[in-house]
Structure formats: C-alpha cells, structure tokens
Structure 1
Amino acid sequence: MRYDSITQAIGNTPLVRIDPRVHGLRHIDLYAKLELLNPFGSVKDRAAWNMVRPGLETAVERGSQIVELSSGNTAKALSVIAGMHGLSFKSVTNRMRIPEIKDLLLLLGAEIEELPGRSECLDPTDTDDPLTLFHHALSDPDSAYLHTDQYFNDRNTEAHALGTGPEIVKDLDGRVPDWFVACVGTAGSSTGVARVLREHDPRVRVVGLVADKSDFIPGIRTIDEVHEVGLFDPATYDTMESVTADEAIDGMLTLARRCGILAGPTGGAAYFGTVRHLRALDAGLGAGLGAGPAGSAERRTAVFIVCDRIESYLSYVRRRRPDLLGLAPRKNSLLDVSGTEIATVASVRVREAQEWIAREQPLVIDLRSPSAYAALHIEHAVNIVDELFAELVRGGLPFSARKPVLLTCPVGDKSARYAALLTRMGHTDARSLDGGIIAWRDAGAPLVRD
C-alpha cells in the first residue's frame, strides 16, 4: 500500500480476535483494536493529527511552536508531526514519570517544560495552579503558539468518532459489539467510539476503566482524576471499574506471551479489566440467563483497545515486577502495602499537624516534585521525591526509628502508604498529612516559596 505521507498511515488499524483458550470466555468473542500499530505507536496518533491539522498551515507560515500539556503518547505524536513540518514542539507537564518517553521526546527534538502543577491531571478550576495558568495563556486567541489542548479539544473525540468507531463496526461486518471497554485518560477515544457505537445500536454497553486509587498506570487516570478532564462525561459509561498496576502488568504479559500482541500497560489493563468484567456475564449466558445486552441466545462480542507498545515501559515493569526481568525482588516496596495497613496509619488533619509540628518538631518530608515543592511548601519541610524516597526505604529506615516524621504529598494518598510502610519497618511515629498539601493550602495554613 502506497502513501505520500506517513500521516496517511494513521488509522485503519487491525481488529484481532483473541483466542478463547487464552481468555476462557465460552460465549463471547473478544477482539482487540490494535491502536499500537499506528505509525507513531499509539492511539494518540489519531487525535494528535486531527487536533493539529486545522492550524498547521498558519503555524508553518508564522513559525509557531506546537505546545501540548502531555508527558506521553500525544507529545510523542506531536513531536514527530511538528518536525515533519519544520516546527518545534514543547511538552508542558508537571512530571515526566516514564524515563523512556522523556528520552524519546528529547531524541525527537522536543522541548520539555516541567511546571509545578498540584496534581498529575490539569484542573481548570484551580486558578492558582501554575499548570492551569499556563493552559489559560496558551488558549488565548492571540497566543503565538499552536496549542492542541487535548483535554478540552472536541477534535480529540472527533478523531475516534470519524475513525476508530466506524472501523470497529466495519470490521465486525456492520455489527456493533455488545460490550466496548476502554481505559480512560483524556476520554477522547472512549467517548468518540461510544458515540458511534450507540448511534448504530443503543444497546451496546460501555465500560470505562480507571487506575486504582493511589496506583499509577501510564495513560490512565484514577476515578478522582477523570473528573478533572474536560472531555470526560460520566454518562458515556454504563459502568466504571478500577484496575491495579499489577493487574495491568498481568494483562500485558498475557497479551504479549499468549497472543503475540506487544501491548503496553494500558492495553494490559484494558484486557484484564475486560475479561474480569465479562467473566460473570459469560457464565450467565452459559446458564441461559440472557446476561448479554441484546437478550438473545447468539454469541456475543466485546472489543477493547490496545493503546500502545510495550517497549516504552520496561523501567515501569522493572520497578514494579523486577522478577519478570530476572532481578531480585525489591525489599520494603510500597507496592506491597495493604489497604488494612493504610487504614491503621496515623493520618493527621491540618490543625492537629500544625500543633504537632510546633510541639514535637517532627521531620516533615514533602514527596512532591522539586518544581511543586519550590512553588509552595510547608516551612522547614525536606523535599524527597517519592521515587527517590522509595529507593531510600528499600535499604532500610533512612532516619532514626524514634524520630517523629510527617509525610506529605498532593492529596495525602501516597504519604499514607509511605507512613504505613515505615510503620511496618519499625518506625515508632510516622504520620501522614490528611488531604495533603492541598488540604493544608485550603485551610489557610502558611506555605513558603523557594
């Protein structure tokens, strides 16, 4: 097949049937939409090209810089597109969490600007957040930048309403799957595909998958974070379910080892969440309970999206499952902390924390990024980024077990896990700031700036 431009190769990705011997569903045919086979490697190729295209000619005339608030696949696609048209690209983010993606962006010539955002996801209502202020400046009609604005740009959704959704229907010979399952990041792909499928058959069931709270899966938001995304509409989904990082990696391994699909953790999460959701429904179909949406005895169909490729996430796997790479298991890992341990940790509210600091002078550890810490932090707090702190505690307690410690993070979830881990390791007084730095700020407690 001949093309005049690599962008013409975006879309028309394969829909591949998963062998029933792998997933074990007896009455449901399961298909994977292989968006990892887009030319730049991910589902974001569609949205990036659709968002940038209308302003591209003017941007070339002006020599504008393309800018996006992204640290992942959207940034990667836009970097390539910008370079093809003689333009520069800037990725604005509050943390690059995947080293391979950062290295690739730099290799592609991207400029990376890390701003001290308060959370991992842009919150347009937080007018004091530097990331939000930057977003508003980029969205100004007189801006010298071409801002693609993936979290609020309807052309993100449109790319999938015009491409991904119709392709699924076409490849199923005009039929609509009984279930469509998608991980939720910007919500562009799930919203666009769901819209098209429901236009063909409103009985389709749409399942949105999010990352488990306090967990991290690249490209997927937690249930709290998705509500900060402008394209997210709860009405799109018939149900929302969470997936853990371990489950995402297990799904990724199954796709790679059993199906030959070299999916990243997002695709693994989609596979794992899909099979888990359908297992009980499949059993109901076998019992003649008519559990499927169509209410008939015929075989049912489900489709999930494989967003990107495995190669960019080896460091992610190495940190969470070193045994898979022939490495020794990690000691004192945050990933092993149970919900019961977290529930019993001492979590102190702002007023109580202020009194405790004044009385006992505990060591206050701020686990946020250096840029966020520099913007605002509790006076005398020590900044140890959570990834570095994780490495420290693997070697044992990094300070006296009797030294009182107050751990802080943006919203108090990560700090509670660390406090539980330190307690398990024998620390006598490790506490977490309830609600994190955001609760401290909202209570009007003093913060200082570097």
Structure 2
Amino acid sequence: MRYDSITEAIGNTPLVRLDPAVHGLRHIDLYAKLELLNPFGSVKDRAAWNMARPHLATAVEAGSQVVELSSGNTAKALAVIAGLHGLSFKSVTNRMRIPEIKDLLLLLGAEIEELPGQSECLDPTATDDPLTLFHRTLAESGDAYLHTDQYFNARNTEAHVTGTGPEIVKDLDGNAPDWFIACVGTAGSSTGVARVLREHDPRVRVVGLVAAKSDFIPGIRTLDEVHEVGLFDPGTYDTIAAIRADEAIDGMLVLNRRCGIMAGPTGGAAYTGAVRHLRAYDDEATGENGRRTAVFIVCDRVESYLSYVRQRRPELLGRPRRTHSLAELSDTEVRAAPAIAVPDARAWIEREQPLVVDLRSPYAYAALHIDGSVNIVDELFEELVHGGLPFSRSRPVLLACPVGEQSARYAALLARMGHPDVRSLAGGIIAWRDAGAPLVRE
C-alpha cells in the first residue's frame, strides 16, 4: 500500500472482533475500532486533518499560525500537520495534565500557552474566563491564525460522517451494529458515527460514556463538562453512563494483556463501559444466527499515559500501592463529605479563619481566588496526603476546586484520616463567583 503523503494514511483503521472468552458476552459480538492505528496515533487525526485541510493553502500564503485549544491528541495531530506545511502550531490550554503529551508536543515544535481558566473545559458563557476570551479573540483574528476550533467546528463531526461511520458499516458487511459505545470528549466522533449508523438503521442504540464526577480520564469529559462543548447534543445518546478512572485502567489492561491492543485509558473506559452495558442485554440478544453486534472506539495508545497509570496504580509498574488514596473512597463516603455553601462559608471564614486551600491550577488561581487562600494544585495535594494529614488537626480547613467535586473527595479522604473539621466549598469557586462573593487577582 503506497501513499504520496502521510495524511493519506489517515482512516481505514481495522475493526477487530474481541474474543468472547475475554469479555464474557455469549450472544453479542464485540468489535473494537482501532483508531490508535492512525498515523499520528489517535482518533483525533481524522478531525484535525478535516478541520485544517480547507484552510492550509491560505494559511501557508499568509504565514498563519495553527492554533487549537487542546492539551491532548488534537494538539498532537495538528502539530504534525502544521509542521508538514511549514507552519508553526500553538496549543492553548488551562492545564497540561499528561507530562508525556506535553513533552511530545514540545518535541514536535509546538508552542504551549497555558492560560488561566475557571474550569477544565472551555465554557463559552463565562465572559470573564481568560480561556473563553482567548477563544473569542481567535475568532476575530483574521489571517494571523488558523484556528481549527474543535469544540464548535462541524468539520470535527463530519470527519466521522465521511470516514469512521461508513468504515464500520462496510466492515460489518453493509450492516450497522446493534450498539455503538463511545467516550465523549469534544463529541465529534460519537456524534458523527452515530449519525451514520442511525441513517443506516434507526434501531442502533448509542451509549455515551463520560468520566465520573471529580474523576479524570484523559480525553473524556465529566457530565458537567460535556454540556459546555458546542458539538454535544444529549439527543445523540440513548444512554449516558459514567466511568471511573480505576475502571478505565482495568479495561485498558484487558485490552493490552488479553487482546493485544495497546489502548490507552480512554479505550479502556470504552471497553469497560461497553461490557458493563451489554451484559444486561446478553441473554435476550438474538439477531442473525442468534447473535448481535456492538462496536466501541479505541481512541489512542497506552505509551503516552504511563505517568497517569503510575500516579493512580503504581503497583502495575512495580511500585508499592499508596496509602490514603482517593481510589479507596466509596461513592457513599464522597456524598457524605462535609460541605458548606457559599454564605455559610463566608461567615465561617470571618468567624474562625480556617485554612482555605484552592486546588485549581496556578493559572486559574492567579486569575481569581478567595483572599487569603493558598494554592496547592490537586495533583500536589494528593502527593501530600499520601504521606499523612498535611495540616494540623487544630485548625479547620476549607477546600475549594472549580465546581466542588474534587474538593468533596479530598474532604471525605481527610475526614477518614481523622481531621476533625475539614469542609468542601459547595459548588466551588464558580458558585463563589456566581454568588457575588469577593475574589482577588494575584
């Protein structure tokens, strides 16, 4: 197979049937669409090329810089595409959470600009959020930038309407699967593929997978975050289910060790979510020859996420499992975590002067924070907690994060560890801001 350009190798990825002895489904054939085999390593290769391609000639003539609000696979693909055309690329984000991807982007010659942001996902309605303001500036910049705009660009979805979806139907001998299971990030792949499959057979059931509240799985939004994505339409999905980080890693290990598929955590989440959802239908699944079919997407490769695995499951890499871990918490404990609403928190701060710990990124903290608070980014805070209680039991503690989810988990953990008075700010810094409570800039 010969190509004149590496971009011609994007798409036409394999569809692989997984061994039923591995997943345990007796009447459903489960297929993995191996988007990790795209030339730049992920499903985002399709969207990046489809979004950039129409504008590249003009961008080259004008000497534009390719820009995207991305800290992951879209940025990686665009960095390569920009380099192929002699253009520079800038990744704009409010948080680079995977060190290997940051290093790879730098290796590819990308410029990385980290701006303050009040949440992990671009919120177009947050008019005072620097990330949102930058997004609006890009839209008005003329020829200075080629802004691919993955969160709102319809060509993100179209890449899968013309490519991924039809490929699945073709590889299933002209049939749509009975189920399509997809992790939801920008929602481009799930929306595009679902559209094609339902046009072929309206009975196709679509399952959207999101990260559990306060959890982080690379490439997947939480349910709160995904509603801020311009391409997301809840009507696309028959079911939306949440996956925990540990479940994603467990699924990744099955794909790596039992199926020979070098999937990253997103693919692991898709596998876990697929098997969990389909088990409820396995006994009643009857189709041609008594079997039905389901497809999920393996988005990218495991090699970029070793630090992610090391932080959450160190024993997998030959290191002792950490004590005092968020992974130990049950949902019941998190729901019961001590929380305090904004009006009561303001009175409590005035009356008892608790230590206020802001768990957001340094950039978000610098933009706006509660006066007198200290900034300990959540990854560093987690490291501190592994060594035992990081604060004196004699002083009350108020924990704050963007929307009150991660702070609730840490409040539950510190309470379990014996701190007598630790509380989570309900609704987080966003609720504090929306209540008109004072915030200061660094």
TM-score (norm 1): 0.97
The question of whether the paired residues in 1 share the 8 Å contact of 2:59 and 2:143 is answered with no
- Whether 2:391 is the aligned partner of 1:399: answer yes
Q: Could you say what secondary structure the match of 1:109 adopts?
A: coil
Which residue of structure 1 lines up, in the alignment, with residue 339 of structure 2?
347
The question of whether the paired residues in 2 share the 8 Å contact of 1:64 and 1:144 is answered with yes
The question of whether the paired residues in 2 share the 8 Å contact of 1:137 and 1:143 is answered with no
The question of whether the paired residues in 2 share the 8 Å contact of 1:79 and 1:108 is answered with yes
- Residue by residue over 1:98-132, the C-alpha shift from the partner in whole angstroms, topping out at 9 and shown as x without a partner, is 11100100111101111111111111111111111
Which residue of structure 2 lines up, in the alignment, with residue 277 of structure 1?
277
Distance 1:440 1:271 in 2: 38
Identical amino acids, percent of aligned pairs? 80
1:392-431 alignment, distance < 5 Å: 392-431=384-423
More deviation, 25-34/331-340: 331-340
Which residue of structure 2 lines up, in the alignment, with residue 384 of structure 1?
376
TM-score (norm 2): 0.98
More deviation, 417-426/341-350: 341-350
- Whether 2:188 is the aligned partner of 1:181: answer no
1:162-311 alignment, distance < 5 Å: 162-285=162-285, 298-311=290-303
1:40-55 alignment, distance < 5 Å: 40-55=40-55
Q: Could you say what secondary structure the match of 1:330 adopts?
A: coil
Distance 1:300 1:335 in 2: 35
Question: What letter matches 1:57 in structure 2?
Answer: A
Q: CA deviation at 1:405?
A: 0.7
Question: What letter matches 2:320 in structure 1?
Answer: A
Question: What letter matches 1:390 in structure 2?
Answer: E
Distance 2:30 2:230 in 1: 30
Runs of 4 or more off by more than 3 Å in structure 1? none
Distance 2:345 2:312 in 1: 32
Unaligned runs of 5+ in 1: none
RMSD: 1.1
Which residue of structure 1 lines up, in the alignment, with residue 5 of structure 2?
5
More deviation, 297-306/4-13: 297-306
Which residue of structure 2 lines up, in the alignment, with residue 153 of structure 1?
153
1:22-41 alignment, distance < 5 Å: 22-41=22-41
Which residue of structure 2 lines up, in the alignment, with residue 446 of structure 1?
438
Distance 1:55 1:100 in 2: 29
Distance 1:280 1:444 in 2: 47
The question of whether the paired residues in 2 share the 8 Å contact of 1:197 and 1:204 is answered with yes
Q: Could you say what secondary structure the match of 1:169 adopts?
A: helix
Q: CA deviation at 1:297?
A: 6.5
Q: CA deviation at 1:223?
A: 1.1
Q: CA deviation at 1:83?
A: 0.8
The question of whether the paired residues in 2 share the 8 Å contact of 1:367 and 1:415 is answered with yes
The question of whether the paired residues in 2 share the 8 Å contact of 1:206 and 1:237 is answered with yes
Q: CA deviation at 1:335?
A: 2.0
Unaligned runs of 5+ in 2: none
Number of paired residues?
Answer: 442
Question: What letter matches 2:171 in structure 1?
Answer: D
Distance 1:91 1:440 in 2: 29
Q: CA deviation at 1:323?
A: 1.1
The question of whether the paired residues in 1 share the 8 Å contact of 2:160 and 2:188 is answered with yes
